[in-house]
Amino acid sequence: MKKLTDLKVRFVGAGNMATSLIGGLINRGFMPSQIRASDPGGHQRQAVTERFGVQTFDDNNAHFGIPDVVVFAVKPQIMKKVTLDVANSIAETGALVISIAAGIKVKHLESWLSDDTAIVRTMPNTPALIGEGATGLYANQNVNKTQRRLTESIMDSVGISHWVDKEFKIDVVTALSGSGPAYFFLFMEYMQKTAIELGLSPEVAAKLTEQTALGSAILAQRSPDDIKVLREKVTSPKGTTEAALKSFNNNDLERTIKQAINAANDRSKQLSDDFS
């Protein structure tokens, strides 16, 4: 594996997720000179250059050189056009391709690039914007061990990443962690709203809700106990927590959550099929 200082990474697209990854790589020791990015938006290019000192281009092919990794960070709707635009450059360099476009299957990328291209399909989530993301990874058969470690280094720069062994599991990752932040935001929204209705000020309700969510997540990460045990430990018999949990159970919260995640999983599959 090349030294960190020798690697060259090219970003096609310089939006929020690409900006997060660029910042994460630089925090990990990458030099701005190792990274280049292209984007049609002048404002996006200017923002990346001013913030990180990274060279940016409006032409997707002008910035290639001989990269080790090409990260596609564009919307799924334009992914085909963009990949076809740079297909020759990727074929000439033999670069590893990392896609963060939702719904675009490996077979799509292989048909637009080539069957022997090393491709990793990823599903990050929005907390990557603050370095706390969760990303699912799936590699095609052309990705070697060195490239897998390199992919981990890039995606772990904005949080954590985990490999799945079957591509359909990326749909599950999408339903769980890709869409997951919205589930927690909705739950927090309702908690905060109810606390305000019961008499707390919006400011106090917001701060207590946010810190409760943050503290619970950190405790779940750091504790040797699983989530079920942690839940049981905070639930005293005939106490306030038990009363709330009984209300959840009476309204079949588990069924509601299962239905929601299954709906997201089904929709992810449908979106992938739509690109076929």
Is residue 211 within 8 Å of 204, Cβ to Cβ?
no
Q: Which domains does the chain have, with CATH numbers?
A: 4-171 (3.40.50.720), 180-272 (1.10.3730.10)
User: pLDDT-based confidence at 273, cuts 50/70/90?
Assistant: confident
Is residue 133 within 8 Å of 159, Cβ to Cβ?
yes
Which one has a higher pLDDT value, 192 or 5?
192
55-76 pLDDT per residue, tens? 999 988 876 777 899 999 999 9
pLDDT at 4: 66
Is residue 120 within 8 Å of 96, Cβ to Cβ?
yes
* Largest interatomic CA distance in the chain: 68
Here the tokens at position 232 are: 């049981």
With a pLDDT cut of 70, the percent of the chain lying above it is 97
What spatial distance separates the first Cα and last Cα of the chain, rounded to whole Å? 35
Q: Going by DSSP bridges, is the β-strand pair 119-123/96-99 parallel, antiparallel, or unpaired?
A: parallel
User: pLDDT-based confidence at 28, cuts 50/70/90?
Assistant: confident
Mean model confidence pLDDT for the chain: 94
Contacts of 72 (CB under 8 A, 6+ apart): 12, 13, 79, 82, 83, 97, 98, 99, 100, 101
User: pLDDT-based confidence at 102, cuts 50/70/90?
Assistant: confident
Burial 13-39 (b: 16+ CB within 10 A, else e): bbbebbbbbbbbbbeeebebebbbbbb
pTM over 0.75: yes
201-247 pLDDT per residue, tens? 999 999 999 999 999 999 999 999 999 999 999 999 999 999 999 99
CA dist list (Å): 181 to 127, 232, 257: 8, 24, 14
pLDDT at 219: 97
User: pLDDT-based confidence at 264, cuts 50/70/90?
Assistant: very high
Other CB atoms within 10 Å distance of the CB of residue 243 = 10
The yes-or-no verdict on residue 275 having pLDDT over 80 is: no
Contacts of 204 (CB under 8 A, 6+ apart): 195
User: pLDDT-based confidence at 276, cuts 50/70/90?
Assistant: low
pLDDT at 123: 95
The yes-or-no verdict on residue 146 having pLDDT over 90 is: yes
How far is it, in rounded angstroms, from Cα 133 to Cα 144? 24
121-137 pLDDT per residue, tens? 999 999 999 999 999 99
pLDDT at 19: 94
What is the mean pLDDT of the segment spanning 139-165? 95
pLDDT at 2: 64
4-27 pLDDT per residue, tens? 668 899 999 999 999 999 999 999
